[in-house]
């Protein structure tokens, strides 16, 4: 039996790396793509292929798809994993950074999907696995831009699923919850960089503390758990439309489905509530800001 060919984006670390390795173990020919191909040594050592690719660079994406098609003749499974989380109050985040999040998390995903689809349609088979997040179903303070991208991925995937079903192509959404990867640290740092010294400083400190607690909690899990779910979806004869993983993610998504907006707001307020120390620090930053404004006016 001919080996299926999989392309996994964002394969240099975390969920993407573990997914590429898991698909290799399951007999796939695997191409991992990331901006830094040198970080995919474990994949190459295991028998996979590494491709340098930036999902926001059209020439780079085209070259990657063309190479795989030339070498293997097809792509059977596309795992759209590349993405990142950038936090900060909407008022504080520059529009250029907001655009970049959409370029990576949404438009990059859509572009590589566009390039893979003609081959899948011609064979009337293929699976597209889009890595969303429980953040595509819930929301957090200071996460407006990140959650917007994941809500967009959810809507894009739903439309794409019914659009491609007549052509024999399956579309699956994966919704990871708290996973111990680089994502959490990057998100925390961005919240502090963008809003740690603004009127939203107290909320930024509370967010960082909540994300740190999530990373340490027993509800958090390792990337290989998500990778196993992705591989299950990629190999199922009739995969579900969505997989929330791990169990804590299923619980949170289920809770959001059941609770009215205002009630869920109360849950979010409780989880991300600033402490007295956070509020005091926030007041100090506001006072410094007012003082600086006064000095500038006086000058």
Ordered by start, the domain boundaries in the chain are 5-181+222-259
Q: What is the mean pLDDT of residues 79-94?
A: 95
286 is catalytic: no
Catalytic site includes residue 150: yes
The CATH code for residues 5-181+222-259 is 3.40.50.720
Question: Please, are residues 196 and 204 in contact by the beta-carbon 8 Å criterion?
Answer: yes
- Is position 12 annotated as part of the catalytic site? yes
pLDDT digits (tens, 9 = 90+) for 230-260: 999 999 999 999 999 999 999 999 999 999 9
Catalytic residue among 31, 146, 200, 243: 146
> Could you confirm whether 87 is annotated as catalytic?
no
Of 86, 132, 157, 190, catalytic = 132
pTM above 0.95? Answer: no
Please give the Cα distance from 8 to 17 (Å, whole number).
Answer: 8
The dihedral sign for the CA sequence 33, 79, 4, 40? positive
Beta bridge partners of 80: 130
137-179 per-position pLDDT tens digit: 999 999 999 999 999 999 999 999 999 999 999 999 999 998 8
């Amino acid at each position: 039996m001919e080996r299926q060919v999989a392309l996994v984006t964002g394969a240099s670390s975390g969920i993407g790396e573990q997914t590429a390795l898991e698909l290799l173990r399951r007999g796939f020919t695997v191409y991992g793509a990331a901006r830094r191909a040198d970080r995919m040594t474990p994949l190459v050592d295991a028998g996979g292929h590494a491709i340098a690719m930036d999902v926001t660079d059209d020439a780079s994406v085209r070259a990657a798809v063309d190479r795989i098609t030339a070498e293997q003749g097809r792509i059977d499974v596309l795992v759209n994993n590349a993405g990142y989380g950038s936090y900060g109050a909407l008022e504080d985040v520059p529009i250029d950074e907001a655009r970049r999040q959409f370029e990576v998390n949404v438009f990059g995903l859509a572009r590589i999907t566009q390039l893979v689809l003609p081959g899948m349609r011609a064979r009337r088979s293929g699976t597209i696995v889009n890595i969303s997040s429980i953040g595509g179903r819930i929301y957090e303070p200071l996460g407006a831009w990140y959650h917007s991208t994941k809500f967009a991925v959810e809507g894009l995937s739903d439309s794409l699923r019914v659009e491609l079903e007549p052509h024999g192509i399956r579309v699956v959404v994966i919704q990871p919850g708290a996973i111990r990867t680089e994502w959490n640290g990057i998100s925390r740092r961005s919240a502090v960089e963008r809003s740690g010294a603004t009127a939203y400083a107290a909320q930024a400190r509370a967010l960082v503390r909540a994300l740190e607690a999530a990373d340490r909690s027993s509800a958090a899990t390792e990337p290989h758990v998500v990778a196993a779910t992705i591989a299950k979806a990629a190999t199922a004869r009739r995969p579900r439309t969505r997989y929330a993983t791990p169990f804590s993610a299923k619980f949170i998504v289920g809770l959001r489905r059941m609770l009215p907006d205002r009630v869920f707001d109360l849950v979010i307020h409780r989880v991300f509530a600033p402490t007295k120390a956070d509020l005091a620090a926030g007041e100090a930053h506001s006072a410094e800001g007012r003082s600086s404004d006064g000095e500038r006016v006086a000058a």
